[in-house]
Each structure stands twice: as C-alpha cells, then as structure tokens.
C-alpha cells in the first residue's frame, strides 16, 4: 500500500439508480470522473466494481455521505455507509466517508454552465453529473487532508 500523500483513490457518489465514480491521485490532489455505475435500489453490479478496482488498483476508497443540511444522518446516509462497508469487506481497502452536502447541486450547476444540462432537463445520465459529483467529493477529501476549507 502506498504511503499517505502518494495514494490512488476511487471516490463514489452513492445513489439508488447510479453511483458516480471518480479516480484521483492524492499527491497532486487531482481527480477525474469515470463512467457511473448502474445500481438497482442502491446495489451496484459488483462485477463492474471489481473491474474498476482491478484496473485502477486504488489504495483507498472515499464515499460521499449524504447528510441532511443540519448535519444529521438520513436513511440514505445509512445506505451509503453500508456501501462503504461492503467496499472494505470485498476489497480489503480502507474506506473513508466524506460529507457530500451540496455536491449534486454543485455538479448540476457545473454541467449546466458547460452547456451539458438544460434548465428543465431531468435526465442527467448523459451529462456526467454523477461523475462530477464524485470528483467534488474527492476534491473535498483532498482539501480536508491539506487543511483547506471545503466547499
């Protein structure tokens, strides 16, 4: 396993229909989106997750924790935690949870600004919002490590 500061990280934006994914390098605090994973009621195709893990060989996972705006946990928080525990159980890599409040809203704004999202469009699948949200989650984790203010 790589030392802190040199780790490759896979980040996930947990959802019940799609799970956004990003990969990043801790040393340069850089992240980029990957194709989202389809999910069925929050359960991913674990074979697809395994392919990602085999391809990228991450040192750790980061999973967005969907907290309520007051900081309390919700039913989705429990499901995201369960997903993180399953990642650890299946692949034996540490998993850290990161407050993701506002990441989806920010990801939609980024997609809209880039012209990939129409104001009334509710079909975000092709616009990369899930991947953008995963990137924002990972960037928030990088900022936290560096002691920088997060979003």
Does 60 fall in a domain? yes
- Helix/strand/coil for 59: coil
Is the pLDDT reported for residue 126 higher than 60? no
- Helix/strand/coil for 53: helix
Within the chain, where are the H helices? 46-56, 75-91, 103-113, 129-145
Query: Looking at residue 116, what is its pLDDT?
Result: 55
- Give the DSSP H/E element, type plus range, for residue 39: strand 30-40
Helices 46-56, 75-91: axis angle to 10 degrees equals: 60
CB 23 within 8 Å of CB 133: no
Does 34 fall in a domain? yes
CA dihedral 60, 66, 69, 70 (to 10 degrees): -80
Does 54 fall in a domain? yes
Q: What is the mean pLDDT of the chain?
A: 86
Over the stretch 25-64, which tens digit does the pLDDT of each residue have? 998 889 999 999 999 999 999 999 999 999 999 999 999 9
Total domains in the chain come to 1
With bands split at pLDDT 50, 70 and 90, how would you rate the model's confidence at 146? low
CA angle, 2 as apex, 38 and 132 as ends, to 5°? Answer: 30
Does 1 fall in a domain? no
Query: Looking at residue 123, what is its pLDDT?
Result: 44
Average pLDDT of span 111-118: 63
Does 123 fall in a domain? yes
**Domain carrying residue 49:** 8-145
With bands split at pLDDT 50, 70 and 90, how would you rate the model's confidence at 105? confident
Report the length, in residues, of the chain: 151
CB 95 within 8 Å of CB 61: yes
Q: Which CATH number characterizes residue 58's domain?
A: 3.30.420.140
Does 2 fall in a domain? no
Does 150 fall in a domain? no
Query: Looking at residue 40, what is its pLDDT?
Result: 95
Does 95 fall in a domain? yes
Over the stretch 67-97, which tens digit does the pLDDT of each residue have? 998 999 999 999 999 999 999 999 999 999 9
């Amino acid at each position: 396993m790589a030392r802190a500061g040199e780790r490759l990280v896979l980040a996930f934006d947990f959802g019940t229909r799609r799970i956004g994914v990003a990969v990043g390098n801790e040393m340069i605090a850089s992240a980029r989106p990957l194709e989202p994973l389809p999910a069925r009621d929050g359960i991913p195709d674990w074979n697809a997750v395994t392919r990602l893990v085999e391809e990228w060989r991450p040192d750790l996972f980061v999973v967005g924790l969907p907290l309520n705006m007051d900081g309390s946990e919700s039913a989705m928080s429990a499901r995201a935690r369960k997903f993180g525990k399953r990642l650890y159980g299946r692949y034996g890599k540490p998993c850290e949870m990161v407050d993701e409040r506002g990441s989806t809203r920010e990801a939609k704004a980024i997609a809209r600004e880039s012209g990939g999202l129409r104001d009334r469009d509710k079909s975000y699948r092709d616009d990369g919002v899930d991947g953008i949200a995963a990137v924002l989650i990972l960037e928030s984790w990088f900022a936290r490590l560096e002691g920088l203010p997060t979003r």
